[in-house]
């Protein structure tokens, strides 16, 4: 038998190899048609007229690599069967051979159809086809709405639906033709194997697989994105809601806001907003401050100088006349620096100093000494910064809950007259940011020629100084790239050490810091700069061997989650805290309520954080895959999803005496309670995301509907 197999491999005319080549050709045809569908998907705009991706060639190359690798894996089981059946003369010309061809043809046609449905799902709602999507949004309403949606597709009306039927039929005809023309099989197989082999080498050598272009074959075993979803029992839900509301009250002492909707338990409303929303049990005729305006009209019934008709003091962050926003509101420039470790920023306790510009801003402004990313990696931080919401374990909000109605800081500011712009050093399509950005911002700026920090920040400075004055305040968010994992030195990055990750990161982090310094030097003489608050933070930290960890996904120890968080500017509300390092726990979810506070905008909403320019006790929750961290008071607890009740799986640290988490403490009842709280919060957030119960019906990213 060994000799027969050897001869079959050596002789292209042998029955075994020709049969295998015939079957392989059918799958090769499938891959070719799938590549065409990929091109139609990536080259067309989304249904709303926005580009699907910024680098079409890059995404097409990656998707073909992933598809070919998955196809080879699916073909391997055919190899022994092909050799076993290869001794039947001219098998591919027999009825059995025709049956085999039909089965392969039907299977690949079904996979092609599934892929096209997934591509169109991605175009319309920004996520892969997944069970929860079908369960939540499938049904009669979708059937009624689908013709209208398809007819309004900016990427050619009904083209996606046409391809769903045309592509499998075209593949079937092409496969049948090649099946009959057996002389081409071996050469076609060799081309297919070469493409697939190159794809395998590429995906093995470059591990940064993109979620957006996951192989279609991966949809079959459970469908991409069908991660862990758990229904909450009533007792757990009640306890988790109590945890959240107690945290919120601790962060907002003396605040009279109410939690009035059991279905959306994160929603808090100021008494004035509660009156506007018709919440029962509020005395909307009350006039506690005796300024002559009842609560239903008075946006702050605790201050007699705040009421309709009062004189609004410009730029103090207080809406004295209840117009909805402070007069002459402040501009906001938010810089989110890639992998900017808090443990390498000098003003943070226990840290080194690789970022002198950020350290200088910390001395001049308001700095948090215990700030952390609420979610990792970058896309988790992106969502926390913009939505002001906790994440959860095992799920990525940006890619799995794209139809959920979530609050948005830039959307709220935009609804109040702000000009909102987002600048990115990397293609926002990479991790699905573009699905959210098109809802939230006036304009998104990305160009592949501006992917290094110096290029991007120079462009931002030029844009800011040359923007056409329109009497609108601006909210500008910028995300950098150069200090990304790998920490490769690019042109302009000085080499001060060897090629180890820590040495490379010190250089790339310093390059990012220097680029920020150049941006600030460029814009600080502009007349609007004196009326601008600059925020600098990192999207997350990065481990450099601490706790034996070298990769971001391995833990949520402080070296992975700690980030700088600095607010600099002459805003009156910043002055009491200026130059004093704040040592309450803080996270990215605190940015939304803080900036709304500085703008004098009603803070009602589902924001889970607190204003950093007010007194209050902070909480820092961090989630990454199965890892959970909760910091409150001086303690920080680390735990794992599903093991929060097991003391052996819990770690406890005192962050005041041990800022680098080098000395774990004995796990006690307090640590167990904190671990349980982190687990319940994760479960509650997942439940609210899945059920779309973050905001009430009628509310959108910008808040409640206009009255």
pLDDT score recorded for residue 221: 60
Could you tell me the fold of the domain covering 331-614?
A: Alkaline Phosphatase, subunit A (3.40.720)
pLDDT score recorded for residue 2: 46
Name which of 100-104, 106-110, 486-490 the model is least confident about.
100-104
Strands 627-632 and 443-445: unpaired
User: What is the per-residue pLDDT across 292-332, written as a single tens digit (0 to 9) for each?
Assistant: 999 999 999 999 999 999 999 999 999 999 999 999 999 99
| Residue closest to 433 by CA, chosen among 155, 126, 208 | 126
The model's confidence at residue 182, banded by pLDDT at 50, 70 and 90, is: low
More confident residue, 180 or 540: 540
Name which of 69-83, 237-251, 443-457, 501-515 the model is least confident about.
69-83
What is the mean pLDDT of the segment spanning 385-403?
93
Question: What are the distances in angstroms from CA 98 to CA 93, 94, 185, 599?
Answer: 7, 6, 15, 71
Distance of CA 183 to the CA centre of its chain: 50
Query: Which position has the token pair 């591990």?
Result: 207
Cβ neighbours of residue 474 closer than 8 Å, sequence gap 6 or more: 331, 332, 333, 418, 419, 420, 421, 467
What is the mean pLDDT of the segment spanning 668-674?
97
Cβ neighbours of residue 543 closer than 8 Å, sequence gap 6 or more: 549, 550, 551, 552, 554, 555, 557, 559, 560
| Residue closest to 171 by CA, chosen among 318, 1, 32, 8 | 32
What is the mean pLDDT of the segment spanning 547-551?
93
Residue 279 has pLDDT above 70, yes or no: yes
User: What is the per-residue pLDDT across 372-388, written as a single tens digit (0 to 9) for each?
Assistant: 999 999 999 999 999 99
Each domain of the chain, given as residue ranges in start order, spans 2-218, 260-310, 331-614
Of all residues in the chain, what percent carry a pLDDT higher than 70? 84
Question: What are the distances in angstroms from CA 210 to CA 61, 65, 132, 355, 396?
Answer: 12, 11, 21, 30, 13
pLDDT score recorded for residue 10: 46
pLDDT averaged over every residue in the chain: 87
471 CB neighbour count, 10 Å cutoff: 6
The model's confidence at residue 60, banded by pLDDT at 50, 70 and 90, is: confident
Run of H or E residues at 608: none
Query: Which position has the token pair 């998104």?
Result: 444
pLDDT score recorded for residue 70: 76
pLDDT score recorded for residue 20: 62
pTM given for the model: 0.88
pLDDT score recorded for residue 211: 72
Query: Which position has the token pair 């990656």?
Result: 62
Q: Are 513 and 356 in contact (CB under 8 A)?
A: yes
568 CB neighbour count, 10 Å cutoff: 23
Residue 183 has pLDDT above 70, yes or no: no
pLDDT score recorded for residue 357: 97
Burial (CB count <10 Å: 0-12, 13-18, 19+), residue 562: buried
Residue 522 has pLDDT above 60, yes or no: yes
């Amino acid at each position: 038998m060994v000799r027969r197999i050897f001869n079959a491999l050596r002789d292209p005319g042998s029955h075994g190899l020709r049969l295998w080549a015939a079957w392989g050709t059918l799958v090769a045809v499938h891959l070719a048609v799938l590549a065409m569908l990929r091109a139609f998907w990536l080259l067309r705009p989304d249904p709303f007229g926005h580009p699907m991706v910024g680098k079409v060639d890059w995404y097409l190359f990656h998707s073909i690599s992933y598809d070919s690798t998955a196809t080879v894996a699916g073909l391997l089981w055919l190899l022994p069967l092909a050799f076993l059946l290869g001794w039947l003369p001219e098998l591919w010309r027999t009825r059995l051979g025709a049956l085999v061809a039909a089965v392969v043809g039907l299977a690949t046609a079904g996979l092609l159809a599934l892929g096209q449905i997934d591509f169109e799902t991605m175009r319309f709602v920004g996520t892969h086809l997944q069970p929860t999507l079908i369960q939540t949004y499938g049904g009669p309403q979708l059937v009624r709405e689908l013709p209208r949606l398809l007819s309004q597709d900016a990427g050619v009306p009904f083209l996606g639906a046409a391809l769903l039927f045309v592509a499998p039929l075209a593949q079937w005809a092409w496969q049948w033709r090649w099946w009959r023309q057996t002389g081409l099989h071996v050469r076609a197989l060799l081309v297919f194997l070469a493409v697939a082999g190159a794809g395998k080498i590429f995906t093995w050598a470059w591990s940064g697989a993109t979620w957006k272009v996951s192989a279609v074959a991966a949809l079959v075993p459970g469908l991409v994105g069908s991660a862990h979803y758990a229904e909450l029992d009533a007792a757990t839900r009640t306890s988790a809601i109590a945890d959240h509301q107690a945290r919120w009250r601790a962060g907002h002492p003396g605040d009279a806001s109410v939690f009035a909707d059991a279905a959306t338990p994160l929603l808090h409303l100021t008494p004035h907003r509660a009156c506007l929303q018709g919440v029962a049990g509020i005395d909307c005729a009350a006039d506690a401050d005796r300024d002559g305006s009842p609560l239903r009209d008075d946006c702050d019934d605790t201050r007699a100088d705040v009421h309709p008709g009062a004189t609004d003091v410009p730029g103090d962050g207080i809406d004295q006349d209840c117009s909805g926003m402070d007069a002459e509101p402040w501009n906001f420039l938010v810089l989110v620096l890639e992998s900017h470790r808090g443990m390498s920023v000098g003003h943070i306790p226990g840290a080194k100093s690789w970022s002198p510009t950020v350290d200088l801003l910390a001395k001049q402004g308001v700095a948090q000494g215990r700030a952390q990313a609420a979610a990792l990696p970058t896309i988790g931080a992106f969502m926390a910064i913009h939505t002001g919401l906790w994440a959860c374990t095992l799920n990525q909000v940006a890619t799995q809950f794209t139809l959920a109605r979530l609050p948005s800081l830039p959307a709220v500011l935009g609804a109040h007259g702000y000009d909102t712009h987002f600048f990115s050093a990397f293609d926002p399509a990479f991790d699905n940011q573009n699905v959210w950005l098109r809802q939230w911002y006036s304009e998104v700026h990305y160009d592949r020629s501006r992917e290094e920090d110096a290029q991007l920040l120079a462009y931002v400075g030029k844009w800011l100084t040359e923007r056409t004055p329109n009497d609108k305040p601006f909210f500008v968010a910028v995300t950098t790239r150069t200090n990304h994992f790998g920490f490769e030195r690019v042109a302009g990055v000085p080499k001060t050490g060897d090629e180890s990750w820590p040495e490379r990161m010190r250089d790339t982090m310093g390059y990012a810091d220097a680029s920020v310094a150049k941006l600030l030097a460029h814009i600080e003489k502009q007349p609007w700069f004196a009326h601008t608050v600059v925020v600098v933070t990192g999207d997350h930290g990065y481990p450099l061997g601490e706790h034996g960890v070298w990769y971001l996904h391995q833990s949520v120890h402080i070296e992975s989650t700690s980030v700088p968080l600095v607010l600099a500017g002459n805003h009156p509300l910043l002055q009491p805290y200026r130059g004093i390092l704040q040592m309450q726990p803080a996270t990215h979810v605190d940015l939304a309520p803080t900036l709304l506070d500085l703008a004098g905008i009603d803070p009602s909403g589902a924001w889970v954080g607190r204003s950093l320019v007010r007194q209050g006790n902070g909480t820092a929750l961090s989630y990454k895959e199965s890892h959970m961290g909760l910091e409150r008071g001086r303690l920080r607890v680390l735990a794992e999803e599903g093991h929060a009740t097991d003391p052996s799986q819990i770690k406890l640290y005192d962050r005041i005496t041990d800022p680098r988490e080098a000395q774990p403490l004995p796990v006690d009842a307090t640590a167990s309670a904190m671990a349980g709280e982190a687990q319940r919060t994760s479960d509650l957030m997942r439940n609210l995301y899945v059920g779309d119960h973050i905001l009430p019906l009628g509310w959108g990213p910008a808040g409640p509907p206009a009255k």
